[in-house]
């Protein structure tokens, strides 16, 4: 992390991109002085009302099911101790806030990654900058310093039900501010108090409502969701690229992506995806190629090629000849295409996993867009409770200025994450179907089985790559059940409906990693297939350019005997095929697809024969995770 950017927080203008810069790239934060004045006004207002003896929820009362209990002037247990009061620092009101944090830090599981905690910190500071939470400026500045000095509280992943906000994880975040808990500092895990000392900070003693301000809100689910949406944006672009590379490898059809087609069903994501496919495939000499030009793979044999250049190929090629007697009723077709069947099936439409990619990828984009809309609102919302309105007009009683509401309830985020959660396995599934089609000789339009020559029957090629993708798709599908539909009441049924949004967002963030792996499997496989397709077509072209009619005719099955009356027609049509191939120019994928292939080939070589693939798989997964292919 080396971003020197300093982001100004004012409670109103934080963006998802800002959160990512802080979380993943080390940007620091500054606090807007104008907003700090509003923060100070709310804190001073609370202090004034407390001094007047006003009953205020969470300030002079207990929390949750204890809300009906008013705090007294002194501790009951001190009276019971026979005049020997225990040693306590601060008032009951301060003890209430302190105890709220230390008793609520009860999460379990492995710690969140530092990027999630940094995202939580910037989000929490920003919402408190709105000036409706009652926190003091000094406490807010200390919270910002945790972030700026890179103190990362240890927050176990599991323990929030998403209402009243993310209480337990936020308590783990806040307890370090008090000198408790644990934190990572300069990469070392240590007690929170020690981290503060090393960073030159002092522990904070909480004042009125500050415990509630620190731990009551949707911060964990918002942080996980923002990071997931950022990663998913890159993966959606990666999925489009993978599909385009696969379509080029199939020498597929692009008419299904035409703008006039999608204008008839203008879902925004679908329209954008179709347009994106056309951009990625621009410059391709494989897409929409004439059927008769595409040869079919045939295993290499020693006598497959007569020239040294041909002998260097890792394949042989072939076509089937369609004699005149089998063209009845198909005259219109054969007036446009030569009577040779190679790798490309004579059909004007591709499989759903290619032809319907705009509809599927686009629907995922629409789910992502909806979640982005919700999260953009939440980033600059106030989500703790109660809300402080020190300057409310026509206020008659304290309840008009300190209002208990429900902004901590995470259901808006939870439901939007449920939508995305269902979309992720869909995007993974269609990618796996393309991978499966690439390796299947019955469906890969003339490519070798499992994309390997296998002339000695010893090679498995890319067979097991599809197994990995299939396993991941199944795992993603089983994790797609929405957490938001299953509320478990808490706090003695005072909090009787909760969102489970923290689980939802955490699941989505985790699932994006496996989605990236599935897409990596497709790209790994599609690169092999595309190179085969290009090389086979270009080998056919080189053979045609050589002018060796007999050699080209030798690649065609079903040729009539030379003494047959049909032989002159066969020879004429083979020469037409030769001319079409010779005039075609170099065969290659779209410009963007070629650039991606070159990047992949810079780290992962074409696989001519079986080799250990674990290193390849790790590299392709790292390449996808880095975003370099779609940067």
Catalytic positions are 57
Nearest to 235 by CA among 337, 378, 72, 367: 367
Long-range CB contacts (< 8 A, 24+ apart) of 21-27? Answer: 22/118, 22/119, 22/121, 22/122, 22/147, 23/115, 23/116, 23/118, 23/119, 23/122, 23/223, 23/226, 23/227, 24/115, 24/227, 25/1, 26/1, 26/2, 26/150, 27/3
- Within 8 A by CB and 6+ apart from 419, the residues are 367, 370, 371
Which letter, b or e, does each residue of 69-86 get, where b requires 16 or more Cβ atoms within 10 Å of its Cβ?
eebeeebeeeeeeeeeee
The whole-angstrom separation of Cα 412 and Cα 381 is 12
Q: What is the DSSP letter of 548?
A: -
The whole-angstrom separation of Cα 246 and Cα 597 is 11
Instruction: Give Cα 251 to chain centroid, integer Å.
Output: 29
Q: How many CB atoms lie within 10 A of CB 379?
A: 21
User: Exposed, middle or buried: residue 535 (CB in 10 Å: 0-12, 13-18, 19+)?
Assistant: middle
Peptide bond into 400 cis (omega under 30): no
Element of type H or E holding 597: helix 591-601
Nearest to 89 by CA among 191, 183, 178, 201: 178
Nearest to 105 by CA among 248, 211, 242, 252: 211
Rounded to a whole number, what is the largest CA-CA distance in the chain?
124
User: Exposed, middle or buried: residue 478 (CB in 10 Å: 0-12, 13-18, 19+)?
Assistant: exposed
- Find the DSSP H helices in 350-486: 352-355, 357-379, 411-439, 463-478
> Torsion over CA of 219, 224, 225 and 228, rounded to 10 degrees?
160
Mapped onto helix, strand or coil, the DSSP state of residue 91 is: coil
- Asked if 74 contacts 403 with a C-beta cutoff of 8 angstroms, the reply is no
Nearest to 519 by CA among 618, 431, 429, 422: 431
Long-range CB contacts (< 8 A, 24+ apart) of 371-374? Answer: 371/225, 371/229, 371/416, 371/417, 371/419, 371/420, 372/16, 372/229, 374/412, 374/413, 374/416
How far apart, in Å, are the Cα atoms of 466 and each of 69, 500, 617?
61, 34, 12
* Torsion region of 507: left, alpha or beta (phi above 0 gives left; psi -120 to 50 gives alpha): alpha
The whole-angstrom separation of Cα 457 and Cα 252 is 29
φ, ψ of residue 342 to 5 degrees: the values are: -115, -120
Mapped onto helix, strand or coil, the DSSP state of residue 11 is: coil
Task: Give 269-295 as a DSSP string.
Answer: HHHHHHHHHHHHHTT-SSTT--GGG-P
Mapped onto helix, strand or coil, the DSSP state of residue 592 is: helix
Per the DSSP assignment, residues forming a β-bridge with 145 are none
Percentages of the chain per state (helix, strand, coil), in multiples of 5 = 55, 5, 40
């Amino acid at each position: 992390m080396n971003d020197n950017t300093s982001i100004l927080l004012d409670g109103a203008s934080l963006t998802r991109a800002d959160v990512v810069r802080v979380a993943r790239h080390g940007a620091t934060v500054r606090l807007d002085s104008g907003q700090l004045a509003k923060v100070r006004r709310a804190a001073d207002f609370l202090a004034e009302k407390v001094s007047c003896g006003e009953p205020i929820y969470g300030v002079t009362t207990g929390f949750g099911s204890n809300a009906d209990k008013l705090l007294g002037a002194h501790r009951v247990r001190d009276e019971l101790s026979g005049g020997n009061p225990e040693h306590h620092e601060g008032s009951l009101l301060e003890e209430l806030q302190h105890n709220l944090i230390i008793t609520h830090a009860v999460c379990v599981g492995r710690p969140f990654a530092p990027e999630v905690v940094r995202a939580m910190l910037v989000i929490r500071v920003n919402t408190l900058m709105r000036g409706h939470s009652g926190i003091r400026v000094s406490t807010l500045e200390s919270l910002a310093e945790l972030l700026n000095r890179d103190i990362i509280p240890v927050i176990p992943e599991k323990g929030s039900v998403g209402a009243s906000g993310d209480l337990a994880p936020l308590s783990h975040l806040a307890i370090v501010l008090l000198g408790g808990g644990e934190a990572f500092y300069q990469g070392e895990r240590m007690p929170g108090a020690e981290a503060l000392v090393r960073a030159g900070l002092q522990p904070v003693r909480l004042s009125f409502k500050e415990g509630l301000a620190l731990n009551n809100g949707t911060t964990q689910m918002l942080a996980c969701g923002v990071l997931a949406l950022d990663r998913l944006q890159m993966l959606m672009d990666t999925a489009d690229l993978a599909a385009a590379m696969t379509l080029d490898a199939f020498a597929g059809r692009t008419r299904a992506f035409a703008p006039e087609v999608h204008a008839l069903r203008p879902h925004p994501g679908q329209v954008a995806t179709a347009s994106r496919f056309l951009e990625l495939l621009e410059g391709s000499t494989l897409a929409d190629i004439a059927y008769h030009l595409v040869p079919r793979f045939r295993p290499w044999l020693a006598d497959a090629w007569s020239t040294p250049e041909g002998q260097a190929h890792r394949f042989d090629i072939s076509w089937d000849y369609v004699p005149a007697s089998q063209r009845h009723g198909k005259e219109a077709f054969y007036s446009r295409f030569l009577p040779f069947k190679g790798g490309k099936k004579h059909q004007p439409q591709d499989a759903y996993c290619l032809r319907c990619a705009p509809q599927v990828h686009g629907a995922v984009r629409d789910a992502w867009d909806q979640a982005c809309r919700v999260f953009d609102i939440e980033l600059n919302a106030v989500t703790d409770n109660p809300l402080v309105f020190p300057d409310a007009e026509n206020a008659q009683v304290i309840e008009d200025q300190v209002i208990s509401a429900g902004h901590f309830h995470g259901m808006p985020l939870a439901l939007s994450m449920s939508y995305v959660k269902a979309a992720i396995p869909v995007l993974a599934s269609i990618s796996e179907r393309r991978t499966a089609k690439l390796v299947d000789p019955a469906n890969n339009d003339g490519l070798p089985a499992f994309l390997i020559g296998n002339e000695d029957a010893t090679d498995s090629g890319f067979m097991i790559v599809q197994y990995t993708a299939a396993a991941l798709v199944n795992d993603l599908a089983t994790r797609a059940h929405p957490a938001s539909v299953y509320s478990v009441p808490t706090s003695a049924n005072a909090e009787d409906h909760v969102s489970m949004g923290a689980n939802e967002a955490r699941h989505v963030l985790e699932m994006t990693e496996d989605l990236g792996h599935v897409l990596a499997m497709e790209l790994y496989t599609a690169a092999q297939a595309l190179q085969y397709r290009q090389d086979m077509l270009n080998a056919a072209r080189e053979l045609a350019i050589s002018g060796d009619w007999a050699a080209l005719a030798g690649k065609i099955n079903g040729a009539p005997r030379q003494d047959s009356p049909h032989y002159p027609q066969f020879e004429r049509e083979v020469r037409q095929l030769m001319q079409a191939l010779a005039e075609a120019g170099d065969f290659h994928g779209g410009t963007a697809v070629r650039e991606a292939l070159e990047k992949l080939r810079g780290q992962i070589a074409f696989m001519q024969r079986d080799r250990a693939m674990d290193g390849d798989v790790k590299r392709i997964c790292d390449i996808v995770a880095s975003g370099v292919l779609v940067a």
